[in-house]
Amino acid sequence: MRNPIFKTLLVAVVAVFLFGLLGSVAYAAGDIGDSCDGSFPCNEPYQCENGICQAMLPGGPGTPGEVLSIIANIGDWVFGIFIAISVIYIVMAAFQFVTGEGKPDKITEARMKLLYAAVGIGIALFAGAFDDIIRSIILNT
């Protein structure tokens, strides 16, 4: 027996799980500001300095390395905030699909929430990669 409510809930649970997994992968150890040592090295464009992953550019106030670190930190915060809001919108849309009772206006509103969530995830991914884009422009690589 096919139950549309069960299918919708299943899709919502899988979507929330996948986006949660996406967030945990994006915050894997080795990015700027993460702790590092011999067992947890930094990712490729960063170096371990005083137990914290830093940009490979020269450090110090006003240098490109410091600016990139600030941009990376802001990008990480924006990424986290937009992913969290997007997941909330996906859950709200799933709930609205389930409780919409087939009413076209409620279904349309739920679809719009899913669209907003997709846009939010796109912005989050761009924010997470923004520091890498700026680094490649600065280093001409």
pTM, two decimals, is 0.55
Distance CA 78, CA 126 (A): 10
Going from the C-alpha of 58 to that of each of 13, 55, 65, 68, the distances in angstroms are 45, 8, 5, 11
In the predicted structure, residue 76 carries a pLDDT above the cut 80: yes
In the predicted structure, residue 140 carries a pLDDT above the cut 70: no
Q: Which residues, 6 or more positions from 29, have their beta carbon under 8 angstroms from its beta carbon?
A: 35, 36, 40
Q: Residue 132, Cβ neighbours under 10 Å: how many?
A: 14
Tell me the pLDDT of the chain averaged across its residues. 74
Structure tokens at 62: 């006003």
Burial of residue 55 (number of CB atoms within 10 Å: 0-12, 13-18, 19+)? buried
Q: What is the pLDDT of residue 28?
A: 47
